[in-house]
Structure 1
Amino acid sequence: MSSVLERFLRYVQIDTQSDPHSTSFPSTAKQRDLSQLLVIELQEMGVTDAHLDEHGYVYATLPATSTKPGVPVICYCSHVDTSPDVSGANVMPLVHQNWDGRDIVLPDDPTQVLRRGEHPDLEAQIGNDIVTASGTTLLGADNKAGVAEIMAAAEYLMQHPEVKRGTVKILFTPDEEVGRGTEKVNLEKLGADFGYTVDGETVGTLEDATFSADGVTLTIHGVSTHPGFAKGKMENALKLAADILAELPKNGLSPETTDGMQGFIHPVHITGGQDTATVEFIVRDFTELGLYEKEKFLRNIVNEVGARYPHSRVEMDVVPQYRNMKVVLDQHPQVVNNALEAMHRVGLTPVRRSIRGGTDGSRLSFMGLPCPNIFAGEHAFHSRLEWVSVQDMEKAVEVLIALSQVWEEQAGH
């Protein structure tokens, strides 16, 4: 049986970076390289229906070993792609065995240093085995740790039919990092009643709430003319955009000034020229009311600044992205409770918390598959300092195995 570490080291060396600017699906063909390997490995375990569909999704079924009627079908889900923020090509994973607490200097770029004081979760890892990249790429623990954990759990369950459980479905998605992870998933084909993404951070955490999220685009139509004859005529779209951004609060409502349950308005991209400019924002809050209030706040800024440019026009387009999955999960408390019980059984003290972000589970929940997020052990994701603990990955595997048993035991209660 392959260990979760062996699988993880194998998977991270396959470049699966997604591309937010691509119009194809999946956004990069190379994501299929890992997905095809996963299908082969699942089939070798005896998962006969494992396959890769035309959209880049991996579907697989672990048949039930229990004859008890009415056991819900659960699904374990992770994404194969890695963030566009940092290169995922030529990843060289390093295992720092029996870590002694000293700074970890990444050899291919010594300016990249993993320090306990800057990464509080490292405090609990002394004596454990830490996996990092070599300094020039991300590691890919987000979310290949989750992929490896699901695969290791699947292999164990297939080799141990004495472990009584219902049917377990496996779903590996592409393009989660660019917000398209569930765009073409077929839930009818998947056939699960409840699901779990394995894409969380600290060992023992279960995330059952996310931001609600919208994207906002401002399209600014200024007045362009020859700069030599522009007095009293030109209204520069770039300056109008800059004035709007300058009106955003300096000490609040931004990612760099908020935490906990606070939301924000975050400009992420600006482009254009003096005639036309575009500013893109993401808006986040844990409640829809908070989301709408922030969008109203931004609209008021647009109107006030726009009044200084009487011949210009600003269009504000709001596109819903995802909503807080807690709204759905609160209607199915057993989904969270069973995960907490599984964590207790493997010796963890579980912690429920909210994600200052979203997961595939956010959308899956509203599509009809209630789906909280279980820890995978990944840390400092989307950066060259990304790391994961081998022991945390092993514990995640234990949780997934125990969770399948909890659902079987609870059936009919």
Structure 2
Amino acid sequence: MFTNYTFTVVEKFMRYVQVDTQSDPASAAAPTTEKQKNLGSVLAEELKAMGLADAHMDEYGYVYATIPSNITKQVPVICFCSHVDTAPDCSGTHVKPILHKQYNGADIVLPDDATQVISVKDYPYLQQHIGQDIITASGLTLLGADDKSGVAEIMDMANYLLQHPEVKHGEIKILFTPDEEVGKGTAHVNLKKLGAEFAYTLDGGELGTFEDETFSADAAKITVNGVIAHPGYAKDKLVNALKIAGEILAALPAGEFSPETTSGREGFVHPVAIGGIAEKATIDFIVRDFTTANLVKHEARLKGIVEEVLKKHPRATMTFEVHEQYRNMKEVLINHPQVGAYAEEAYQRAGLQVTKEPIRGGTDGSRLSFMGLPCPNVFTGMQAIHSKHEWIGVRDMHKAVEVLVHLAQVWAEK
């Protein structure tokens, strides 16, 4: 089926990663950075050039397009979705992608910073790419495979279907979102305009992985109110909120309850930011678990730890606020088993074994599922994301394109 097809995914990916699209968690704008639209406009124009007449980018940086059905029977409209932004964790400015032809199995020293080494010891998945082409950055930036690999794979899928009208499929929607990395990827999405019934995000890792379960997530904020006094005359008067905040952090369990001590299906509580002055200090936490009901237990435990610390400082007060962030997509997808079953069929047609695993994080699919668009996650091949060691295998990218084409066929057949 793909024997004589010249994949365009690598060429597209190498171009897309050179466009700086880093999002900004501190920004209240939509999108959080205007530069994300630079790639969005490129994608909209390329989709138009392919022949998708309705392709456009809206004011918020979302790109929408439709691949029309080429069959007469009615089948559900499906959507393929990826995000254009890269993480704030590591620079995405002046990315220089490097195509390593026929990788030889050795550690890779990145040319622009010889201290940055992608080693087989740290990334054993490299061993599955010996003799294959892989792509890295140059050592000064992340690569941007999260999630421009997904973007490029969807674009190549569209290219393939438009070049091969003999491949039968229903109507397919394409959606590219901004701001996923800062938790705002669905903040301004127009699902009515999108018009899809089911969706798949392309935002996963190793070849063959399929994810239909994410963390459920809350944010918790602790505000400690101390008692301020002039430091020269502070004896028996000053209660320093910053010191109390430090005691709270020191009181957190050392061997569990944290991301650095948990794995698999274990949840955690994680301090992500601290700020303030002697009079008033805040600590921001994220709370994660695969079982939504456990979030309340984690939050109660955290609040209990804080209250124990505050007992030593009776003149201090605190507030404890919790906000919902996203929920485990499994709670929705369990009611739509065909979404996963059709994906598994597509993987098998591409010659892949399906590896199901929960995501110790979230995707746009988490929110989309609870907004009424059931949406699991398909692999892209991305590795070592959010870092200067980020890399991806060309074989994995080609296989992702194949899976999407097969998935379009399976929905049309079933």
TM-score by length of 2: 0.98
- Cα deviation per residue 1:231-264 (whole Å; 9 max; x = unaligned)? 2111100111011111111001111110000011
Corresponding residue of 2:263: 259
Matches within 5 A, 1:185-224: 185-224=189-228
Matches within 5 A, 1:2-401: 3-69=8-74, 71-401=75-405
Q: CA deviation at 1:189?
A: 0.7
Q: CA deviation at 1:390?
A: 0.7
2:396, 2:201 → 1: CA distance?
Answer: 16
2:81, 2:176 → 1: CA distance?
Answer: 6
For 1:65, give the aligned amino acid.
Answer: N
Aligned residues of 2:7 and 2:398 also touching (Cα < 8 A): no
Structure 2 unpaired stretches of 5+:
1-5
CA RMSD, 1 decimal: 0.8
Q: CA deviation at 1:158?
A: 1.2
2:125, 2:318 → 1: CA distance?
Answer: 45
SS of the residue aligned with 1:379?
coil
SS of the residue aligned with 2:213?
strand
Corresponding residue of 2:3: none
- Cα deviation per residue 1:71-125 (whole Å; 9 max; x = unaligned)? 1100000000000011100000001111011000001111110111111221211
Q: CA deviation at 1:219?
A: 1.2
2:132, 2:272 → 1: CA distance?
Answer: 37
Q: CA deviation at 1:142?
A: 0.2
- Cα deviation per residue 1:365-413 (whole Å; 9 max; x = unaligned)? 0000000000011010000000000110000000000000000110xxx
1:99, 1:26 → 2: CA distance?
Answer: 38
1:202, 1:385 → 2: CA distance?
Answer: 16
- Cα deviation per residue 1:347-373 (whole Å; 9 max; x = unaligned)? 001111100000000000000000000
For 2:383, give the aligned amino acid.
Answer: H
For 2:82, give the aligned amino acid.
Answer: S
1:78, 1:107 → 2: CA distance?
Answer: 30
Q: CA deviation at 1:52?
A: 0.5
1:290, 1:101 → 2: CA distance?
Answer: 43
SS of the residue aligned with 2:309?
helix
Runs of 4+ in structure 1 off by over 3 angstroms are: none
2:24, 2:199 → 1: CA distance?
Answer: 26
- Cα deviation per residue 1:144-192 (whole Å; 9 max; x = unaligned)? 0000000000011112111111000000000000000001101111000
SS of the residue aligned with 2:378?
strand
Higher mean C-alpha displacement, 22-31 vs 303-312: 303-312
Q: CA deviation at 1:2?
A: 6.2
Aligned residues of 2:83 and 2:178 also touching (Cα < 8 A): yes
SS of the residue aligned with 2:158?
helix
2:51, 2:10 → 1: CA distance?
Answer: 21
| Alignment size in residue pairs | 409
For 1:99, give the aligned amino acid.
Answer: Y
2:305, 2:383 → 1: CA distance?
Answer: 36
SS of the residue aligned with 1:47?
coil
2:129, 2:279 → 1: CA distance?
Answer: 54
- Cα deviation per residue 1:242-296 (whole Å; 9 max; x = unaligned)? 1111111100111111000001100000011111111111010001121111100
1:93, 1:115 → 2: CA distance?
Answer: 18
Aligned residues of 2:368 and 2:375 also touching (Cα < 8 A): yes
Q: CA deviation at 1:224?
A: 1.1
TM-score by length of 1: 0.98
SS of the residue aligned with 2:212?
strand
